[in-house]
Every structure is written in structure tokens, then in C-alpha cells.
A and B are shown apart, each in its own frame.
Chain A
Amino acid sequence: MIGIKSSLAFRENAAEAVRDSSLRSAMRTATDTFTQLRSAGMASFPMDEWRDRASEIRLNVLNSLPDYLDEFSRNATRVGAVVHRARDAEAARDIVYHLLKDRGARKIVKAKSMVTEEIHLNQHLEVRGMEVVETDLGEYIVQIAGEAPSHILAPAIHKNRRQVGRLFQEKLGVEYSDDPKVLTGIARRVLRNEFLTADAGISGANFAIAGTGSLALFTNEGNGRMVTTVPPLHIAVLTIEKIIPTLADFASFVRLLPRSATGQPLSSYLSIITGTRKPGEATGARELHIVLVDNGRTEILRGECREILKCIRCSACMNVCPVYRVIGGHAYGSTYPGPMGIVLTVLLDGMENAHPVLDASTLCGACAEVCPVRVPLVKLMNLLRERRVEAGFTQSAERTFMAGYGMAVRSPKLFGLGQTLSRFLWPLLERVPGNMTLPRLPKPVKSTFKRRMSGQ
């Protein structure tokens, strides 16, 4: 697939992304729009209070997660759902595949879900002969382009409308148009037929409400509602930390999630799905399976970075991230990009497979400033950078420099010597091929401030 890059090649990916001018302008426009909408949507609300409350609820969930999961499972079962637990990605894929296979399902429509990206569900089903159709417009675009999403909410954020127009022309055999209305109309016609002929629908969930056994889905296109109600079988795949204790607690997130994401007071659709279709009801899946995926969460929960599990996937942190804005989501080479993605990727994929993405931040703090559940993103990124040093995944030149620094910082004499040495070596170092740092800096002065203060 195009767009599937390695986190280990992050530096190269990022340098390449920076040179892509159409990506740059698409990212600028989209992230500016998101950021402005969010600011407008947040104005005149007691945000700090809301965020404290939401953070507190999320922490409470994390502190008693096994109990809440049991409560959720009990209540979901009571209203007709079948709850499955998957320890890892493989187990989750297996459960979903067998549910589909046992019912002879061939065509599956999907609503947007990041965890199914994380566990690579589509590929797993496709190589086993099933047809999987993404129905979120952005997700549909990246699917037919053979790419991965580059944003957790707006998967095709990296594409402009002309690129989408050409893609539709090529893949769907329609006349070229770059009018978003026309393009949306085309996708709508194609997808309408898919909804009506699908054997099963797979969705994620934004939240799972323990007290009622309900799933909550925020969507803007209505496709989520089609996926979860039209086909006879609905499979919801979600990670275990998505639990919210009660409907009353859920209210906090109804006001925070859409506002943080797109600035909307509420998304166009909010579905709260409680069990299967009841007698006398006209819509709803006849069979509902809920797959609760762990895939490393329990391990994260035990560690020092557990607060990342408070994340509600609003995407505000990536929308304000000045680095994400310049490189887009694919460069990270991971399912989740941006600040929350950096932390989660290192924890999920392991330091040895993901350490370069830790460099994708200036630690400017714009992310933590907007996080609706107060995930201390800067602190977590910094903490993981410490773990990276301990694990030996930094370059030897950097380690040598830091060892020298450690000595010089304790001795003003050595520090001064370092300054003098750097002044003499500067003209040489500046010309080292590939050195892109020194030529951008001024030259060290002969008469340092210290010398001037000592009258030298």
C-alpha cells in the first residue's frame, strides 16, 4: 500500500513530506480550519472546568477498568449483544473473521474505526475473500487510493479536491470534477448500494457506557448509522479503555468531543446503540457482537504513561501540532499520528520499532494546551525520550556530545574551553557535508559575555 511507511524511517519520511508542496498546502488549510473551528466552538464555555471533570471521569475509569469492563459486558449481554474479549490484534481479527465466516458474510460495510486500522482488519478479511467497503467519505477515498488514513478523524486530510477528483475519475470511471458537492454525490450513490447489499456492518465506537451496556458513535455523514442498523449483523470493535461509567458521565463527553474535534456543539449524528433490534422496532441489527480489544492497553495501564489511555481521539492535539502541520500523518509510519500518536505508537509498537517518532515534537506544548481530557502529552513525550536514552536508542554522536556536556556543565573552565574550541572548529564543522545545523547558527564570539563581565 502507498502511504504505509515505517516509523523507523521517520526522519527520512518527514524530510520527504516537507518537500511535497501539495501536501503542505492541504495540511495548512485543513489544520487551520480545524483549529479555528475549535477555538470558535470553545469560546464562551467554562472549558477548564469541563476538562477537569472529563479528565477525572477518565482517570476513574482507568483506575477500575476491569470492574467497568465487567459491568459493561453484563449490561450489554442483558440487552442482547454478545461480548468478546480479544487479548491482541490476532485474537481480534480471528474473532471478527469467524463471526463473518460462520454467517456466510461476503460483503462488509465499515464505519470509521481507528482500532480496526491498528489491528489491520481489512487486509485480514480481504485476503480471505471478503469484500470490505469503507463508508466514511475520507476513509473511502484512502481505501480506493490504496493508502492509510493520515489523520484519526479526517483520513484523507492530506489530499486536495483535485487529487480526489482525479482519483474518482480513475477508480470509479466517472467524469472529472473537483467540486466537493459533486464528489460527495458520487460517493453517496456508490455507497448507498453497498449499504443495501452488505451482509454485515463493522464499526468502532467512541465510547462504551458501562451502566447501560450501550455504544456511542459520533458521526457527521450518517454512514455510521447505516452501517450499524441496515445489515442484519453488526460487529463493533473497540479498545478496552473506551468505557465511560454512566450516561450522566457521558454527557461531559457529548459536549467536549465534537467541540474539540471540529468545533461543533454536536456532531450531525449521535447514535447510542443499546443492544439488538427489539420486537416491533423497524431498524437495528438483529445480531450485535462487541469485540473488546486489549492489544497492549493493560500493559500501558500498569506503566508510567497510563494517562495516554484517557485520550478520547478528538484529534485536537494533531490539529494544533506545528510539526504534524508540516509533515502530515503518513510520515509517522504509524496508525496514530500527531502528539497522542507519538506516545501511543511507542507504547504499542515498542521503543525498538518506533523510537524515531519521539523526535516529531518541539515540545512546544500546543497539544497539551488543547487536550480536552488533560493528557500531559509534553510530559509523556519527554518521559519516553528519557526511556529511549536509557534503552540506548539515540545516536552515538549525540551520546558523546551529552557526555561531554555533562562534564563541561559542572566546570566553568571546561565550559569555557568548549566555547573556545567550538569557535576554532566552527569553520571546519560548518563545511561538513550534510551538516544542516551549524550553517544556520551565528558564529561563537571571541569575547563571550562572561569575559566581558570579567573585564577581559
Chain B
Amino acid sequence: MRVQLFATCLVDTFFPETGEACVRLLKHFGVETAYPRGQTCCGKPPNSAGYAREVKLAATRFIEVFDGSDAIVVPSGSCASMIRNHYPELFRDDTRMAAKAQAVAARTFELTQFLVNKLEAHKAGLKGRGKITYHSSCQLRRELGVKEEPLSLLQSLQGVEFVPLPSEDRCCGFGGMFMAKLPEVSMAMADEKAASIVETGAEVVTGCDHGCLMNISDALRRRGAAVQAKHIAQVLAEEL
């Protein structure tokens, strides 16, 4: 099997190790990763800020670059939802583009969605390390409906003690541009999230979106907590 990896701009710019973990993980399950070199950003930032023109530019570019019929794997719930749920709506007035957007949307999977539903990775006996809790990110959960997949993967990890996070589905305050527009509010929200993470006694908090994890990591650092925020790809690929 072969997939196309859309690494996302956050992984490309800040967290290349997460991208490498995705490749390792997929390889472990016999999946070859193609990395379309022309990829940039999915258009989520202008989308949530209301810049419709820029969203269309990003989507058009994405649809061109991710040509073909292989599944597109994305290590982010919000980017995957952008492609799956928002792309088809963008081109309602352009039947040719709408059809292409539909096709790309149908081929797109968030990483854990793909790992569980296509590869049954939760039954593969992967190994991990330490005491881990999980933050359920908003678009992943509410727009893509991915709730159980990450949990079943984490709970399947041998050598990991999984502890649930109270109010795991409450927004951490990242929200893309929200973080920059209302920094005090964003930090207050992240602080509360960090407090409940510390309370679980976990050594690692994981999730499927680097946006949230970045925000949470900052709140943990400000609080002086030793808890690490790690993308789920890295947690799953830890012992590979």
C-alpha cells in the first residue's frame, strides 16, 4: 500500500520529528509514504480568520499537488477536517473543481483514523513508554468525529499506563489565530487545561494536533511542570 503524506505546515516548520515518526509508523505497517514536494498549507488559518480568497488559493494548490488515487494521511485533525469537510463547500459554484475537491476529501484521513480504520494498528501490539494522558482536539472530535481511534491506539500500547484527562474535550485555547488575537484569554484557557493535565500525574500529554500541543506545552512550561507534550505519532513510534 502507498499513501501520500500531507505533513502540515506546523510539522514542516516546527516539528519535523513528528513527520518522521509518521513515515516510520506507516512503514512499520508496510505502507510506503510518498511526500508530494509541492505541498504548503491546507488553508485552515485564513479559513478560521475569514479570508475566503486565500482559503481558495490554498485549497486549489492542495488539490493540484495531491493528485492521484492514494489515500492522503494528515497528522492533524484540524487540517484533515479542513480538507474533508470544508474543501467541497468552497467550490460550490464550480462543478469541475467541486468534483476534484470531493475526490480529495474522500481520500483524506487523519493519522489515527487511518491507523485504526485502515491498518488496525490498535491490534498490532505496539510498544510505548511511561504514563500518558490525551487531549481530544476540537475539529478532530467534532468535525471529523474521531473520538475513539486515538484512545484505542493509546490503550493498546504495551508498557504505557494510560490515564484519562478530565474534560478532555474542552478547547485548550489555541484556535489558530485566536491564540494571537486574544492572548490573555488563550493563556487562561491553556492554564486550566495544563492544570488538569498535571492533576492526572501523567508524564506525557499527547494529542493529534500540534497547534493544541504547542499551546498546552507553553502553559505547562509557564507552570513549571515537567509534563511533556508529544504528538501521538511520536508516542506510537517511540519503540519502532
Q: Is the CB of A437 within 8 A of B180?
A: yes
Q: CB < 8 Å: which of B12, B54, B175 contacts A409?
A: B54
Residues from 379 to 396 in A contacting B, C-beta threshold 8 Å: 382, 384-389, 394
Minimal Cβ-Cβ distance residue in B for A393? B50
How far is the CB of B182 from the nearest CB of chain A, in Å?
6
Q: CB < 8 Å: which of B38, B138, B214 contacts A362?
A: B138
Residues from 1 to 56 in A contacting B, C-beta threshold 8 Å: 11, 14-15, 18-19, 24
* Given A15-B185, A442-B14: A364 touches B138 (CB 8 Å cut-off): yes
Interface size on B, residues (CB 8 A): 58
CA distance A24 to B53 in the complex (A): 38
Q: CB < 8 Å: which of A322, A368, A408 contacts B189?
A: A322
CA distance A409 to B54 in the complex (A): 8
Contact pattern, B 43-55, Cβ under 8 Å of A = 1, otherwise 0: 1011111111110
How far is the CB of A216 from the nearest CB of chain B, in Å?
32
Interface size on A, residues (CB 8 A): 56
CA distance A389 to B48 in the complex (A): 11
Minimal Cβ-Cβ distance residue in B for A385? B50
User: CB-CB < 8 A to B39: which residues of A?
Assistant: 412, 450
* Secondary structure of the A contact surface, majority rule: helix
Q: CB < 8 Å: which of A11, A322, A388 contacts B181?
A: A11
Contact pattern, B 190-226, Cβ under 8 Å of A = 1, otherwise 0: 0010000000000000000000001101100000000
* Given A15-B185, A322-B171: A408 touches B40 (CB 8 Å cut-off): yes
Q: Is the CB of B175 within 8 A of A389?
A: no
Contact pattern, A 440-454, Cβ under 8 Å of B = 1, otherwise 0: 111111011110111
CA distance A368 to B19 in the complex (A): 32
Contact pattern, B 166-183, Cβ under 8 Å of A = 1, otherwise 0: 000111011111111111
B26 within 8 A of A: no
Q: Is the CB of A402 within 8 A of B13?
A: no
How far is the CB of B79 from the nearest CB of chain A, in Å?
13
Most chain B CB inside 10 Å of its own CB: which residue of A358, A364, A419, A452: A364
B188 within 8 A of A: yes
A405 within 8 A of B: yes
Q: Is the CB of B19 within 8 A of A452?
A: yes
Contact pattern, A 306-348, Cβ under 8 Å of B = 1, otherwise 0: 0000000000000000110011000000000000000000000
Q: Is the CB of B179 within 8 A of A405?
A: no
CA distance A436 to B57 in the complex (A): 29
A360 within 8 A of B: yes
Q: Is the CB of A402 within 8 A of B51?
A: yes
CA distance A442 to B37 in the complex (A): 24
Q: CB < 8 Å: which of B143, B174, B181, B217 contacts A359?
A: B181
Residues from 122 to 169 in B contacting A, C-beta threshold 8 Å: 138-139, 142-143, 169
Contact pattern, A 418-456, Cβ under 8 Å of B = 1, otherwise 0: 010010000000000000110011111101111011100
The 8 nearest A-B residue pairs measured at CB:
A362-B175, A385-B50, A436-B183, A364-B171, A365-B142, A449-B19, A364-B138, A449-B16
**Interchain Cβ contacts under 8 Å between A and B, 30 examples:** A15-B184, A322-B170, A322-B171, A322-B173, A323-B182, A323-B185, A323-B189, A326-B189, A362-B171, A365-B138, A366-B169, A382-B47, A385-B48, A394-B49, A398-B49, A402-B46, A405-B45, A405-B46, A408-B40, A412-B37, A422-B13, A436-B187, A437-B183, A440-B218, A444-B14, A449-B12, A450-B7, A450-B35, A453-B37, A454-B37
B interface residues (Cβ-Cβ under 8 A, vs A) = 7, 9, 11-16, 19-20, 35, 37-41, 43, 45-54, 57-58, 61, 138-139, 142-143, 169-171, 173-185, 187-189, 192, 214-215, 217-218
A interface residues (Cβ-Cβ under 8 A, vs B) = 11, 14-15, 18-19, 24, 322-323, 326-327, 358-366, 368-369, 382, 384-389, 394, 398, 402, 405-406, 408-412, 415, 419, 422, 436-437, 440-445, 447-450, 452-454
